[in-house]
Structure 1
Amino acid sequence: MTTVPPTHPWNPPADDRALSPYTGYTRDHWEAVADGLLDAAWRWSTPGRALLDLPGKPSVSGVRSDGLEGYARTFLAAAFRVAGADGKDPHGWLDRYAQGLAAGTRTPGRDDTESWPLILDHHVQGQPMVESASVALGLRLTRPWLWDGLDAAVQDRAEEWLRGALRHVPAPNNWYLFPYTVAAFLESVGRGDEETRRARERALTLLDGWYRGDGWYADGDGRAFDHYNGWALHLYPVLEAHLAGDTVLADRYGPRLREHLECFSLLFGGDGAPIHFGRSLTYRFAASAAVGLGAVTGHTPLTPGASRRLASGALRYFLDRGAVGEDGLLSLGWHGPHEASLQRYSGPASPYWASKAFVCLLAPAGHPLWTAPEEPAPVEEADRVPALPAPGLLVQSTRADGIVRLHNHGSDHVRPHEGESAAQDDAHYGRQAYSTHTGPTAPGNVPDNHLAVEMDGVTSVRRRIHPLGAGDGWAASWHRPVFVSGPPMVPGLRVESVVVARGRYELRVHRVAGAPPGARVVQTGWATGPGDGTPRSLLHGLHGWTGRDEARAPQGTAYTPWARVPRLTAPAEGTGVYACLAVLTGEEGDAPPLEQVAGVESADARGITVRWADGTVTRVGFEPFSVSVSVSGPGGGK
């Protein structure tokens, strides 16, 4: 692993490869990174320190909201840093935030240099509600050293501003945990009432309704399963239980976090990368927040050494790959700047929700999280193919190359009341598979990992995903293809999709039903870049495919500025079954040609039977739907 680039504004400690043989990072590194990020961000504060106006293109919420975002999200990092050091604040961070709180709440809503925007409904410039939770949590964490020393008038003004979160409507998802966090803080300082009680009760009632099992919450009433599970839906209630010493709350939500980490810990690559999946990926190493929280609260199946390996691995992964620019600021993107990774709500300070990763600093220096030797990450221990039936996901990891793949047959970004439109295609949910080493191609480029139906040259999009199930090494779903021009849908057109994972191989089977005359089907594989050191992407047709070529994605992915995508094509009419093998691998050396890995024994419109080279037989049936595996030879599949 490379060293931290010299352009970073902080001077990191030397690597400790005895204590941390995988990452070299210790608690001192985490404190140094927090201090470095804070120092760079504070260079852009207003004179009264109420807003941090970081340079860059404003978000849709506007410059003032973005400035509040800079204050609030960096406050999280400072609060975890100081609280974890039992109030020691050698850089005087809390004095700055105290001054900013006083200035920002003096005349909220006023158009001047310092005033914070009002907290309104989510559809009316609602971003300040998000930031209110970070302000409240920062004040909760640092109460003895910040809040308790404020003038009563400033405390009253801060409370009045924060109560805007309790009196306005959040977005119908994890946003309900923002007024929850505000209410919890107000109650912790003796300012609770019926309004705070209702906010907390409403949030937890919704949260329980969104719980789907396997440790996963949907982010709202739909089927959005992504990183918000860790850095929001688990974080706020479990951290509140920890800070309040609320054993009832901890017993209610702690076991869900533990179960979540059973599978989520598998979604980090051997190089430390989190899975590149879902929205708000510019929050980067916030993906490790659930890991750190589990270690701090004890609600984790991971050993302290494995927890630190994952958290420090994710932190170092991004620092070593240019996430911090020469100005010391976190950029908008993944490694470095990357516009296709962003959402319209992303502004210059948005990446600082990465501060949630510093929750691990609540474990003091003598905690086993910091004193136990690092242990391997799960991906470094063995090949795994666990299924997650509740969210409809299948994890496929290979120890030899450290790549983790996530096959998506249950998570979309379509709310229950919304119709489906190809114009709303979201590459971060609609693709069949994601990984720790590749990203989806940009809009306008050929989509990777996609089964499309083409009509008159118009390619279909996968929007709402209907799970069919997930089991031992497989997952399945169906969807209605939608089109961006012409008729949005073709009557009766339906695609049923199954993936069966064995070692590094993916058997992808689709049944396309109701294809009209003149239609074509297109299957693409993983998008990878040119040159040495990048994974290889292979795609081999087993049944139904008649054409094969390679498409180019000139806008690349978050991992490469230019990408190639293997592609299979075939004419389609009526009902047909199509099967292929896909591979994403970083392994060196020769491997058997895909033609020798598996072959089709039989296939018709009702299903397909595939025999693997080791004698294992996989049968996928569609009438009724079923997936079965039988072994007539020695085990294997690698």
Structure 2
Amino acid sequence: MNRIIAIIIFSFPFYAYSQNVSEDGKMQRDYYVQTLVRIAHPVLDALSKNELKKRMPLEAKYPDTRKDFMHLEAFGRLLAGMAPWLELGIDDTEEGKLRKKYIELSVICIRNATDPKAPDFMNFNVGKQPLVDAAFLAQALLRAPNQLWGNLDSKTKNNVLNALKSSRVISPGYNNWLLFSAIIEAALQKYDNSGDKMRMDYAVRQMLLWYKGDGAYGDGPDFHWDYYNSFVIQPMFLEILQVLKANGLDPENNYDLALDRASRYAAVQERLISPEGTYPLLGRSITYRFGAFQLLSKIALMKALPPKLTPQQVRFALYTVIKKQIEAPGTFDDQGWLRIGFYGSQPELAENYICTGSLYLCSQAFLVLGLPASDAFWTDENVDWTSRMVYKGKSAFIDKSIKK
């Protein structure tokens, strides 16, 4: 019976490519929305009923080392990706009604996750890992100030602040983890005026020192060939600087500098997508799947793409990437939970720190859903992304590095 219910809940139409370009954007948005909901529903449904710890499966190479962290991992990462879509709010469209459902579920989930008396109260301060996922929850709150933070009751707001502050006992590593501490402080600064400015300033200064050129940062002093510039570094760096700038704490205007670099990195990401919608299996944490393109999605959401890269190229490319990976057999288990893998179920690709909860970082690819359905991103006709264009024999722009 449970399997039948799961099939009913998580089944939705997979659309074939339409030759009617006036319909492509709408069809693709529908697909983005339904895919995000498919990923999100098991987590939010269980947590809203205080049953996440009871119902969520644990897949990991070393399960005993991850069981205390996976719930905040799944929730924080998922909500950070959903937040811009939720922030559009409620309207009378079918999508608007769907948002209403998931806004309400998310608010209940935040309450349960941060209430010390709730069965699903989460671990914010025991071990090292909670710093990471408290940071993703903070990121979600920064991305949806009205629909997430604004809809919390005063008791839950206080619980959230206490939970975030409790993570301060965890010392970050000398790498991208500095940003986890800093974005928690950025959220505390925005909502409680209590952010630790030294932690934010230290993270900013180190990231500026670790810049390697042409839009890419090191993960610490060293450069790594992986997707961490997109998984964590550049999105969080921008959002920390955004809060600092809004509070008059960015006198050197590092925000604009970081945005220029992020725009360049987004252009590189678009060129990594092959004509078939695949991309290199490169570096660690590859089981985050299309979360690798968080930054490309974020820069499109911000309308900060480089001038020669059109929003429609990004929409079409991301749609193709997501569709290819999400439809791979074995991506979900029988109850709709994500399984470890890059293309389907491939548990051998998991590092020691990867577990079921980690996988929900893939939701970060859906940030573009924060652009309303009426935006040209969705309404204009398809444009082939760069590699697809080139392999059709069409003209494309020469790629150029940046010097700052």
Bin the TM-score by the shorter chain. 0.7 to 0.9
Match of 1:339 in 2: 347
What is the aligned counterpart of 1:118 among 120, 124, 135?
Answer: 124
From the CA coordinates, give the structure whose radius of gyration is larger: 1
Q: Do the aligned residues in 1 keep the contact of 2:46 with 2:52 (CA within 8 Å)?
A: no
Percent identical: 20
5 Å matches for 1:352-391? Answer: 352-382=360-390
Which residue number in structure 2 is paired with residue 634 of structure 1? none
Is 2:321 aligned against 1:314?
A: yes
AA aligned to 1:48 is N
How do residues 178-577 of structure 1 correspond to structure 2 at under 5 angstroms? 178-189=180-191, 191-193=192-194, 195-239=195-239, 246=246, 248-301=253-306, 302-322=309-329, 323-382=331-390, 399=391
Deviation string 1:239-264 (CA, Å, 9 cap, x unpaired) is 45568885945412111012212322
Could you tell me how far apart the structure 2 residues matched to 1:320 and 1:8 are?
16
Relative CO higher for 1 or 2, CA cutoff 8 Å, sep ≥ 6?
Answer: 2
Instruction: Please state whether the residue corresponding to 1:349 is helix, strand or coil.
Output: helix
Query: Any conservation in 2 of the 1:56–1:347 contact (CA below 8 Å)?
Result: yes
2:125 and 2:167 in contact (8 A); partners too: yes
CA contact (8 A) 2:51 2:120 kept: yes
User: Is 1:103 aligned with 2:84?
Assistant: no
Query: Which sections of structure 1, spanning at least 5 residues, go unmatched?
Result: 1-5, 383-398, 402-638
Measured after TM superposition, the shift of residue 280 of structure 1 is: 0.7
**How far apart, CA to CA, are the structure 1 residues paired with 2:53 and 2:38?**
19
Contact 2:74 2:360 in 1 (8 A): yes
Q: Tell me what 1:586 maps to.
A: none
Structure 1 match to 2:67 = 63
Query: 2:321 is aligned with what amino acid?
Result: A
Q: What SS does the corresponding residue of 1:63 show, helix, strand or coil?
A: coil
Q: Distance in 2 between matches of 1:292 and 1:52?
A: 33
Equivalence for 1:578: none
Amino acid in structure 1 at the alignment position of 2:108: Q
Cα pair 1:51 1:104 within 8 Å, conserved: no
Instruction: Find 1:154's aligned residue among 156, 162, 172.
Output: 156
Gaps of 5+ in 2: 1-6, 394-404
Report the AA paired with residue 125 of structure 2. Answer: I
Deviating above 4 A after TM superposition, structure 1's stretches of 4 or more consecutive aligned residues are: 13-16, 20-25, 49-53, 85-89, 239-247
Task: Tell me the alpha carbon deviations over residues 50-73 of structure 1, each in whole angstroms, 9 at most, x when there is no partner.
Answer: 758521335454323112222222
Q: Which has the higher helix share?
A: 2
Structure 2 counterpart SS, 1:381 = helix
State yes or no: 1:94 paired with 2:103: yes
Q: Aligned pair in 2 of structure 1 residues 325, 53: CA closer, same or farther (>3 Å)? A: closer
Per-residue deviation, residues 159-205 of structure 1 (Å, max 9, x unmatched):
1210133442112221211122212222222x123x52122111111
**Cα shift readout 1:361-417 (whole Å, capped 9, x = no counterpart):** 1222122221222222221233xxxxxxxxxxxxxxxx379xxxxxxxxxxxxxxxx
Q: Which amino acid aligns with 2:10?
A: P
The separation in 1 between residues aligned to 2:171 and 2:37, in whole angstroms, is 35
Cα drift, residue 27 of structure 1: 1.4
Worse-superposed segment, 84-93 or 296-305: 84-93
Q: Partner of 1:76 in structure 2?
A: 80
CA contact (8 A) 2:210 2:220 kept: yes
Q: Deviations over 1:67-107 (max 9, x none)?
A: 22222222224323311456845352233333333333333
Secondary structure in 2 matching 1:300:
coil
2:212 is paired with a residue of what secondary structure? Answer: strand
1:137 and 1:181 in contact (8 A); partners too: yes
Cα 1:351–1:158 shift into 2, 3 Å = same
Instruction: Flag the 1:344–1:237 CA change in 2: closer, same or farther, 3 A.
Output: same
Structure 2 Cα separation of the partners of residues 12 and 238 of structure 1 = 36
Aligned length in residues: 373
Q: In 2, distance between residues paired with 1:201 and 1:242?
A: 13
SS in structure 1 opposite 2:356?
A: coil
Select the structure that is richer in strand: 1
